[in-house]
């Protein structure tokens, strides 16, 4: 079982500077915060926090920095070091969204190191929201991204060879745990699929979110999950909050997970409760099937309150703000993995 990580007291100098600078209309001090999925979110938050902890640090830049930090780690299962699809190709999905409903996505993208930054370019330098496959790759190259060699990482190559023996597609619940390098590895490091998703609030009171993934390992060639789909894997509404998802993407898409949670939060439901209701909705579609699935949501509201809920136990998420840097256990629908 994961141990709760002790927080480090950080940014003592930055605290008064940021906390005093911005006050919400209600005179509440806006404190920047970032939350990220899984134990690997601990390091991702560090990268995001370097941006967020600056006086003018933007949530959008922070979430992109967090996502880049994990995409750049070739030993990890997000980005080009990740496991391939069943044809042996690594295909990447990512999206990003800011506080003004600007958003950009890429999916089924091959041989580009930082899909999150391509997604941001789609958002900022194209008339579109979503580019996929070859078109997304062409766009990335035109924007100055480099084409990588497309070889599998040594780890992915060996995982793929083992998988080829049976060639069965069967997602493993909570396989993400410990799959991303983190200060303390919490499980066996097995890799089946993975996603890094994070949402942040900056000291100006603006929210943003980013989600990056190689999708489910050994998926069908061409499969796209929830992660790059605005409204499913990620949604940001600056009047309400920011939500992102991890786990079996098909189930998240079915309920438009992130925007469903935002609409619940808009009606006054707290982040954790809203995540619980989304999980219950998925479970109620097919309770038997749900026993074999993991889906988890994390949510942050515009005041910095956060919460999460998962189908299965052992999902964790990481929080970084002016006072805390820690990994939190998350409540779940089922109390033990079946
Ligand atoms: C997907 N939601 O492609 C992603 C997978 C995931 O941790 O979150 N893995 O369906």
Can you give the CATH number for the domain in which 128 is found? 3.60.20.30
pLDDT value at 188 more than 50: no
In a domain, 3, yes or no: no
pLDDT at residue 15, as a whole number: 43
pLDDT at residue 24, as a whole number: 47
**Ligand 1 atom closest to Cα of residue 224:** 3
| 265-276 confidence digits (pLDDT tens) | 999 999 999 999
| 287-310 confidence digits (pLDDT tens) | 999 998 999 999 999 999 999 999
| Cα gap 94→135, rounded to integer Å | 15
Residue 271: how many CA atoms within 13 Å on its side-chain side? 21
Q: Are 64 and 210 in contact (CB under 8 A)?
A: yes
Distance 279 CA to ligand 1 centre (A): 15
Q: Which residues are bridge partners to 185 per DSSP?
A: none
**Ligand 1 atom closest to Cα of residue 175:** 7
In a domain, 18, yes or no: no
| 170-182 confidence digits (pLDDT tens) | 666 665 565 544 3
Distance 217 CA to ligand 1 centre (A): 9
CB distance 192 to ligand 1 below 6 Å: no
In a domain, 103, yes or no: yes
pLDDT bracket for residue 185 (50, 70, 90): very low
The helix/strand/coil state of 261 is: helix
In a domain, 4, yes or no: no
Ligand 1 pocket mutation, candidates 197, 214, 227, criterion most atoms within 8 A of CB: 227
Show which residues are catalytic.
195
Q: Are 158 and 88 in contact (CB under 8 A)?
A: no
Bigger pLDDT: 75 vs 306: 306
pLDDT at residue 267, as a whole number: 98
Q: Are 333 and 62 in contact (CB under 8 A)?
A: no
Instruction: Please give the average per-residue pLDDT across 206-221, as a whole number.
Output: 94
pLDDT value at 334 more than 50: yes
Distance 265 CA to ligand 1 centre (A): 23
pLDDT at residue 307, as a whole number: 98
pLDDT at residue 75, as a whole number: 75
pTM of the predicted model as reported, rounded to 2 decimal places? 0.88
Q: Total structural domains in the chain?
A: 1
In this structure, of 175-179, 201-205, 256-260, the range with the lowest mean pLDDT score is: 175-179
In a domain, 222, yes or no: yes
**Ligand 1 atom closest to Cα of residue 246:** 8
**Ligand 1 atom closest to Cα of residue 37:** 7
Distance 157 CA to ligand 1 centre (A): 20
In a domain, 74, yes or no: yes
The helix/strand/coil state of 46 is: helix
Distance 198 CA to ligand 1 centre (A): 13
Q: Are 272 and 256 in contact (CB under 8 A)?
A: no
In this structure, of 115-124, 170-179, 189-198, 307-316, the range with the lowest mean pLDDT score is: 170-179
pLDDT value at 132 more than 80: yes
What strands, in cross-sheet order, belong to the sheet with 241-247? Answer: 234-237, 241-247, 295-301, 306-310
Which domain, by its residues, includes 155?
Answer: 33-329
Task: Provide the 10 A C-beta neighbour count for residue 2.
Answer: 16
CB distance 57 to ligand 1 below 6 Å: no
In a domain, 67, yes or no: yes
Report which listed range, 32-46, 68-82, 150-164, is most confident: 32-46
pLDDT at residue 5, as a whole number: 46
In a domain, 8, yes or no: no
CB distance 213 to ligand 1 below 6 Å: yes
pLDDT at residue 315, as a whole number: 93
pLDDT value at 282 more than 60: yes
192-218 burial string, b = 16+ CB within 10 Å, else e? bbbbbbbbbbbbbbbbbbbbbbbbbbb
């Amino acid at each position: 079982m994961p141990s709760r990580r002790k927080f480090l007291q950080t940014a003592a100098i930055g605290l008064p500077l940021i906390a005093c600078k911005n006050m919400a209309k209600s005179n509440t001090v806006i404190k920047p915060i970032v939350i990220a999925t899984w134990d690997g979110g601990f390091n991702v938050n560090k990268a995001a926090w370097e941006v967020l902890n600056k006086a003018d640090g933007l949530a959008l830049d922070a979430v992109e920095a967090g996502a880049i930090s994990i995409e750049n780690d070739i030993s990890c299962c997000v980005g080009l070091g990740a496991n391939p699809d069943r044809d042996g190709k690594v295909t990447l999905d990512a999206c990003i969204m800011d506080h003004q409903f600007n958003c950009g996505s890429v999916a089924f993208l091959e041989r580009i190191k930082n899909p999150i930054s391509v997604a941001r370019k789609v958002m900022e330098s194209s008339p579109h929201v979503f580019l996929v496959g070859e078109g997304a790759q062409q766009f990335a190259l035109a924007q100055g991204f480099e084409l990588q060699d497309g070889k599998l990482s040594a780890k992915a190559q060996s995982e793929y060879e083992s998988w080829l023996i049976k060639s069965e597609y069967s997602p493993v619940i909570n396989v993400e745990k410990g799959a991303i390098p983190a200060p303390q590895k919490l499980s066996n490091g097995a890799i089946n699929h993975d996603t890094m998703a994070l949402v942040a609030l900056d000291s100006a009171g603006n929210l943003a979110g980013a989600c990056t993934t190689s999708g489910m390992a050994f998926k069908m060639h061409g499969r796209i999950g929830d992660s790059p789909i605005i409204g499913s894997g990620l949604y940001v509404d600056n009047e309400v909050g920011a939500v992102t998802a991890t786990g079996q993407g098909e189930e998240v898409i079915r309920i438009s997970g992130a925007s469903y949670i935002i609409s619940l939060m808009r009606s006054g439901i707290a982040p954790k409760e809203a995540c619980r209701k989304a999980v219950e909705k998925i479970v109620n579609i097919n309770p038997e099937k749900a026993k074999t699935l993991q889906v988890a949501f994390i949510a942050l509201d515009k005041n910095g309150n956060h919460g999460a809920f998962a189908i299965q136990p052992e999902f964790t998420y990481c929080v970084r703000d002016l006072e805390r840097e820690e990994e939190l256990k998350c409540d779940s629908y089922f109390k033990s993995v079946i």
